[in-house]
Structure 1
Amino acid sequence: MPTPDTPPTVPPLQRLANTAMAVCLAIMAVSVFVNVVLRYGFGSGVAASEELSRLLFVWMVFIGATAAYPTGEHMAFNSLLVAMRNKPRLLAATAVLVRLLVILGCSLLAWGAWQQVVVGMGSQSVVLGYSTALLPLPAFLCSVAIGLMALWELVRNQPLDLGHSVELE
């Protein structure tokens, strides 16, 4: 059991996601900074900077969304759930409903994102020449990952996390 002085252990996949987001952000920051300096200081810029930043931003957002789900860091409107705290059967039924809705939403997002991946396989970005399938791919991967996590929580009959007391909406 960790003491109050020891930091909590971070699971390896969470650490990998945090590192990937940090790398994306660092590359974006350097790329945009260099482009701004070149454009305003020397009258020329790096055309690839915008495409690279856009691609990395999309990946960073969806990696963050995937990493936030298991830790309960997504925005939660839990006022109704807190009111049901004394009604365990209703709260359990609501947990099932919420998980089913998450799985449905993830399924719809995955289906649409996969269609965009297939469309993007036939074309390339203008400047860098990467397959434009790389732009919707993180949405597909994120929706599959979150959908599987929600399904696992549903199978395990895991109760909803009502630990958002600090930011109760």
Structure 2
Amino acid sequence: MTSPITAKLDKGFNAILAICLGLMGILIFLNVLLRYCFNSGLPWAEEFSRFLFVWLTFLGAIGALKDNAHLGFTSLVQKLPPTGKKIAYILSNAIVLYCLAALFEGSWEMTTMSAHTLSPATGLPLSYMYGIGVIMGIGMFGIVFFKLYRALFVKGAIDELVVLRESEDDRDFSADADHHAQQGDKK
């Protein structure tokens, strides 16, 4: 169950991702069209598309963490008792926090060092490129801390947080097996 505020934030976040993807597609298509048809192009469009791609990737990583969609090895953790699940979840998130701290620190240093360095085609400060690492670090820290809070203090939340997602092939196989079993029952 999501609150109205969370739903609005999620909708806004998805809109930002869509805008980045849309602008990137338009700029690349326009540049290809100009090069193919008119033997010219927009030099800044390629560089700006690269900026958008980096932002899209890092913002997408935040969204995937929020939705629990990153790759994970949960089949073993699913078989653990609730206390074991909780310990494994806390340890794995502690490692994630350590990696996020390293990413945040490196991104912060690169952002401050490149604040006065301009990109060649767009003239934008390169700190715009590296600043997304800072934003991603802060966003992911917040998500991980919230999930850790839920794991530690909300009864039964660990089963929601440690989610086993089967692949589409497994789902199709499982659905076929269920269908065949139902057909066998009817005979």
State the TM-score, normalizing by the size of structure 1.
0.86
Match of 1:159 in 2: 158
**Counterpart Cα distance in 2 of 1:49 and 1:143:** 27
CA RMSD of aligned residues (A): 2.1
Matches within 5 A, 1:49-64: 49-64=45-60
Q: Does structure 2 conserve the Cα–Cα contact (< 8 Å) formed by 1:28 and 1:56?
A: yes
Kindly state the Cα deviation for residue 25 of structure 1 after the two structures are TM-superposed. 1.0
Structure 1: give runs of 5+ residues left out of the alignment.
Answer: 2-9
SS in 2 for 1:166: coil
Kindly state the Cα deviation for residue 163 of structure 1 after the two structures are TM-superposed. 2.7
Q: Does structure 1 conserve the Cα–Cα contact (< 8 Å) formed by 2:85 and 2:162?
A: no
More relative contact order, 1 or 2 (CA 8 Å, 6+ apart): 1
The percentage of aligned residue pairs carrying the same residue is: 26
Kindly state the Cα deviation for residue 132 of structure 1 after the two structures are TM-superposed. 0.3
Match of 2:102 in 1: 108
Aligned length: 160
Q: Does structure 2 conserve the Cα–Cα contact (< 8 Å) formed by 1:39 and 1:45?
A: yes
**Counterpart Cα distance in 2 of 1:82 and 1:139:** 32
Name which of 25, 29, 33 aligns with 1:33: 29
Partner deviation per Cα, 1:89-133 (whole Å, 9 max, x = no partner) = 211111211121111111111001111101110200111111100
Name which of 44, 53, 69 aligns with 1:48: 44
Q: Does structure 2 conserve the Cα–Cα contact (< 8 Å) formed by 1:62 and 1:138?
A: yes
Q: Does structure 2 conserve the Cα–Cα contact (< 8 Å) formed by 1:17 and 1:64?
A: no
Structure 2: give runs of 5+ residues left out of the alignment.
Answer: 171-187
Match of 2:114 in 1: 120
Q: Does structure 2 conserve the Cα–Cα contact (< 8 Å) formed by 1:107 and 1:144?
A: no
**Counterpart Cα distance in 2 of 1:120 and 1:48:** 19
